Amino acid sequence: MTREQCAKMYEACYMRVFSYAMTLSGDRSSAEDLTQETFFRAFSKQSEFRGESDEITWLCAIAKNLFIDEKRKQGRNEAISEDIPDPVKSVEKSAVERDSSFRIHLALHGIEEPYREVFELRVFGELSFREIGMIFGKTENWARVTYHRTRIKLQERMDKT
């Protein structure tokens, strides 16, 4: 892969890989590091890309593996990101949004894998069902069904709280 091809891939895929990394890590700094490491690995191991999937799917799989490796190294210690309030929003609106967001994330946290990850890839990572299926080595239909089952589970959990 030439430098121009690498640059084009980086420009085309950066935001989607970064969004996925944010979904995994929940921290902007960690997501930036994970995204950079993902592209570094992809460019240094480009011969391993067999073309059986889209580049974005391949990159997200690399990001997922890097994230898992990093968590294994850290053990179970997860960094807690500090909330930085947006000065433009009103205090009341911010409080309501934070409460709703917290409730959703709390409900999502209790959902088992692969349901949670499929939901996060779809909603936060903005990946298509086909791409999600490819990441898991499953079909597009599997990803679609898993996502919808997760939505039902989330709704049930949200109704209970």
Does one domain contain both 70 and 118? no
Assigned domain for 64 exists:
yes
Q: Which of 76, 104, 128 is the last residue of a domain?
A: 76
3-state DSSP: the chain helix, strand, coil percent, rounded to 5? 75, 0, 25
- Domain containing residue 135: CATH number: 1.10.10.10
Please tell me the predicted confidence (pLDDT) of residue 98: 63
Which domain does 132 fall in, by range?
90-161
- pLDDT tens per residue, the chain (161 residues)? 677 877 888 888 888 888 888 888 888 888 889 999 998 888 887 666 666 667 888 888 889 889 888 888 877 544 433 343 444 444 445 555 666 667 777 777 788 888 888 888 888 778 888 989 998 999 999 999 999 998 888 888 877 76
Please tell me the predicted confidence (pLDDT) of residue 31: 87
The total number of structural domains in the chain stands at 2
Q: Which of 76, 110, 137 is the last residue of a domain?
A: 76
Please tell me the predicted confidence (pLDDT) of residue 82: 38
Q: Which of 76, 109, 126 is the last residue of a domain?
A: 76
